[in-house]
C-alpha cells in the first residue's frame, strides 16, 4: 500500500471560526483511501505572507483563498502558483479579479437568463490620471442621467460594477435620490439596475465545488437572522433552476466557492448578484447551515486532491454560447442543457460516488464534532468576538439552539 500526504493551505484575513472547523473536521476525518488503495493523509496549514521567489515551489496541493480580493501580495502569489505550479485554488484570482459582477451579468444575459435591465454609467468623478482631461474632452459623450434612469424605470438599484458587502449599494425611487447617489458614487464605477420590486422570495445559494445549498434569505434582517431554516420554500422546478443558474455561472467562470443571489417573483427567477469571491461562511451567519458548508469544503478539497483534478483557467465559452444562440430552444430547455455542461464540469456524479464510497464517515464525524465541547468552545469564542458583551449570553443560547436543532435533524436523517 502506498501513502501520500496532502497539504491544504488556508489564506485568511480575520476569520477564526470556519478555519478552526475545517481543521477539526479534516483531522477527525483521518486518512482517505482511494480506489487503488493509496492512503491519502491531510494536513491543513495557514498560509503566511512573505517575500517569494517566482520560481519557488509552493508546498500546498490546494489553497482556499479568503484574502486576495483585497491584499495583493497573496493575490500575486496565487497567480504565480496557478500559472507555474498547477496549484488548485478556491478561487483563482485569474477568474475572480478579472471576471466580477459586471462580467457575470454579461455572461448571464448572453446565456438568456433574466438579469434585470442594467446600465453601466461613466464615473461621476474621473479617475486620477494625467491623460484623463484630454481623453474625456475629446471622446466622452455628455449624457443625461435622468433619461438613463427613465429608460430603466424606477425603482432602481445603484451599485458598484464589481462590488461586495453592500458597499455603495443604494435603492433609488426618484430623480432626487438618483442624483444624490450618483454624486456620492465619486470615483466608483456604477451600474444602474432595475429593481425586482415586490419579489416573493430571496434565495441565496452557496456553492462549493459540486454542491449547492439554496437558502431563504432576508436582506432586511440583521446578519444573524438573514438565513432562515426553511426547507422546500421553492417548488421543485424553481429550486432546480436556482441551483442550475448558480452552478452554470460557476462552471462558466471556473468559480469553485461562490454565493449567488436570485429573486423569485411569480415563479420567474431573476439573478441579481452572482460573483462573491469570498462568500460569507461565518457560523454567526450560516448557523444551521454551517456544518453543511464545512463538510462541503472538506469533501471538495479531498475530492480534488485525491482524484488529481486539474484547475482550469481557460473559458470554454463557445460550448455555452452554442446553446444560448439556438433560437429553437425555449428557456427551460436551455437551462436543462446548461445544467448538463455545469454538472460535467464539476463532475457531480463522480463526486457523489466518491463521497459515498471514500468519505462515508464524514456525516458522523461532523455530527460528533458539533456535539463536542470543542465545538461549543469555538461557538462561544466566536460569539464573544462578534457581538458586544451585553449580547453574549443571548447569542450563545441562540446559536447553541440552532446547532442543536441541526444535530437533531441530522441524527434523524442518519437514522
Ligand atoms: N435588482 C435588484 N432588485 C431588488 N433588490 C436588489 C437588486 N439589486 C440589489 N438588490 C438588493 O441590494 C442588496 C445588495 O446588492 P448586491 O447583492 O448586488 O450587492 P453586494 O455588494 O454584492 O452585496 P453582498 O456582498 O451582500 O452580496 C441585495 O442583497 C438586494 O437586497
Ligand atoms: Mg449580494
Q: What is the pLDDT of residues 365-398, one digit of tens each?
A: 999 999 999 999 999 999 999 999 999 999 999 9
SS3 127: coil
Strand pairing report for 62-65 and 3-11:
parallel
Distance in angstroms (rounded) separating the CA atoms of residues 86 and 69? 20
**Could you tell me if the CB of 65 is within 6 A of ligand 1?**
no
pLDDT at 30: 97
Distance in angstroms (rounded) separating the CA atoms of residues 350 and 365? 22
In the reported structure, the alpha carbon of residue 23 is separated from the centroid of ligand 1 by a whole-number distance in angstroms of 32
pLDDT at 164: 79
Closest by CA to 305, choosing from 317, 297, 313, is 297
In the reported structure, the alpha carbon of residue 151 is separated from the centroid of ligand 2 by a whole-number distance in angstroms of 24
For the CA of 219, the nearest atom of ligand 1 = 31
Distances (CA, A) of 405 to 370, 396, 411: 11, 14, 10
**Could you tell me if the CB of 193 is within 6 A of ligand 1?**
yes
For the CA of 193, the nearest atom of ligand 1 = 1
In the reported structure, the alpha carbon of residue 415 is separated from the centroid of ligand 1 by a whole-number distance in angstroms of 40
Distance in angstroms (rounded) separating the CA atoms of residues 412 and 415? 5
Cβ–Cβ < 8 Å for 325, 340: no
For the CA of 220, the nearest atom of ligand 1 = 31
**Could you tell me if the CB of 261 is within 6 A of ligand 1?**
yes
Find the distance separating the first CA and the last CA of the chain, reported in whole Å.
Answer: 34
SS3 263: strand
The closest residue, in CA terms, to atom 18 on ligand 1 is: 273
pLDDT at 97: 82
pLDDT at 163: 79
Closest by CA to 307, choosing from 342, 357, 343, 258, is 357
Cβ–Cβ < 8 Å for 152, 117: yes
In the reported structure, the alpha carbon of residue 279 is separated from the centroid of ligand 2 by a whole-number distance in angstroms of 10
Q: How many CB atoms lie within 10 A of CB 409?
A: 13
pLDDT at 165: 82
Grid cell in block for residue 115 = 438579469
Q: What is the pTM for the complete model shown? A: 0.94
pLDDT at 1: 81
**Could you tell me if the CB of 169 is within 6 A of ligand 1?**
yes
pLDDT at 343: 98
**Could you tell me if the CB of 272 is within 6 A of ligand 1?**
yes
Q: What ligand is nearest to the CA atom of residue 221? A: 1
SS3 171: strand
Spans of the chain, pLDDT less than 70? none
**Could you tell me if the CB of 148 is within 6 A of ligand 1?**
no
Partnered with residue 4 across adjacent β-strands are 40
pLDDT at 90: 96
pLDDT at 289: 98
Cβ–Cβ < 8 Å for 283, 382: yes
Partnered with residue 260 across adjacent β-strands are 205
The closest residue, in CA terms, to atom 22 on ligand 1 is: 164
Beta strands in 122-279 (DSSP E): 156-160, 170-172, 190-194, 201-208, 211-217, 227-228, 257-265, 268-273
pLDDT at 96: 86
- The H or E element that residue 348 is part of is helix 348-358
Grid cell in block for residue 298 = 472538506
Distances (CA, A) of 333 to 46, 253, 282: 44, 21, 36
**Could you tell me if the CB of 164 is within 6 A of ligand 1?**
yes
**Could you tell me if the CB of 198 is within 6 A of ligand 1?**
no
The closest residue, in CA terms, to atom 30 on ligand 1 is: 219
Distance in angstroms (rounded) separating the CA atoms of residues 145 and 75? 36
Choosing from 169, 195, 202, 219 the residue with most ligand 1 atoms within 8 A of its CB, the one to mutate for a pocket test is 169
**Could you tell me if the CB of 219 is within 6 A of ligand 1?**
yes
Choosing from 104, 113, 153, 159 the residue with most ligand 1 atoms within 8 A of its CB, the one to mutate for a pocket test is 159
In the reported structure, the alpha carbon of residue 163 is separated from the centroid of ligand 2 by a whole-number distance in angstroms of 8
SS3 170: strand
Amino acid at each position: 500500500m502506498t501513502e501520500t500526504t496532502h497539504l491544504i493551505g488556508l489564506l485568511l484575513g480575520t476569520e477564526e471560526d470556519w478555519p478552526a472547523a475545517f481543521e477539526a473536521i479534516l483531522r477527525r476525518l483521518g486518512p482517505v483511501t482511494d480506489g487503488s488503495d493509496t492512503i491519502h493523509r491531510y494536513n491543513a496549514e495557514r498560509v503566511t505572507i512573505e517575500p517569494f521567489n517566482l520560481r519557488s515551489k509552493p508546498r500546498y496541493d490546494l489553497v482556499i483563498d479568503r484574502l486576495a480580493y483585497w491584499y495583493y501580495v497573496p493575490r500575486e502569489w496565487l497567480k504565480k502558483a496557478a500559472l507555474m505550479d498547477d496549484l488548485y485554488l478556491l478561487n483563482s484570482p485569474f477568474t475572480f479579479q478579472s471576471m466580477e459582477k459586471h462580467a457575470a451579468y454579461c455572461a448571464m444575459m448572453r446565456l438568456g437568463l433574466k438579469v434585470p435591465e442594467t446600465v453601466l454609467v461613466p464615473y461621476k468623478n474621473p479617475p486620477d490620471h494625467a491623460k484623463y482631461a484630454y481623453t474625456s474632452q475629446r471622446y466622452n459623450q455628455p449624457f443625461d442621467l435622468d433619461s438613463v434612469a427613465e429608460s430603466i424605470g424606477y425603482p432602481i438599484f445603484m451599485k458598484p460594477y464589481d462590488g461586495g458587502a453592500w458597499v455603495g449599494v443604494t435603492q433609488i425611487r426618484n430623480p432626487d435620490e438618483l442624483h444624490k447617489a450618483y454624486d456620492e458614487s465619486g470615483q466608483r464605477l456604477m451600474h444602474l439596475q432595475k429593481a425586482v420590486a415586490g419579489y416573493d422570495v430571496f434565495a441565496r445559494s452557496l456553492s462549493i465545488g459540486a454542491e449547492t445549498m439554496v437558502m431563504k434569505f432576508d436582506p432586511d434582517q440583521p446578519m444573524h437572522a438573514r438565513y432562515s431554516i426553511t426547507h422546500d420554500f421553492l417548488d421543485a422546478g424553481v429550486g432546480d433552476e436556482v441551483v442550475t443558474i448558480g452552478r452554470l455561472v460557476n462552471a462558466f467562470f471556473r468559480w469553485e466557492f461562490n454565493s449567488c443571489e436570485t429573486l423569485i417573483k411569480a415563479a420567474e427567477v431573476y439573478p441579481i448578484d452572482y460573483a462573491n469571491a469570498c462568500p460569507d461562511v461565518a457560523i454567526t451567519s450560516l448557523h444551521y447551515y454551517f456544518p453543511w458548508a464545512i463538510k462541503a469544503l472538506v469533501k471538495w478539497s479531498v475530492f480534488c486532491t485525491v482524484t488529481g483534478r486539474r484547475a482550469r483557467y481557460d473559458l470554454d465559452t463557445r460550448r455555452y454560447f452554442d446553446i444560448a444562440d439556438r433560437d429553437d430552444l425555449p428557456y427551460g430547455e436551455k437551462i436543462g442543457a446548461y445544467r448538463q455542461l455545469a454538472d460535467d464540469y464539476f463532475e457531480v456524479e463522480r463526486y457523489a460516488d466518491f463521497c459515498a464510497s471514500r468519505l462515508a464517515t464524514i456525516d458522523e464525524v461532523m455530527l460528533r464534532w458539533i456535539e463536542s465541547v470543542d465545538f461549543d468552545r469555538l461557538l462561544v469564542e466566536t460569539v464573544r468576538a462578534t457581538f458586544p458583551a451585553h449580547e453574549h449570553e443571548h447569542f450563545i443560547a441562540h446559536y447553541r439552539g440552532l446547532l442543536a436543532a441541526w444535530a437533531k435533524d441530522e441524527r434523524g436523517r442518519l437514522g
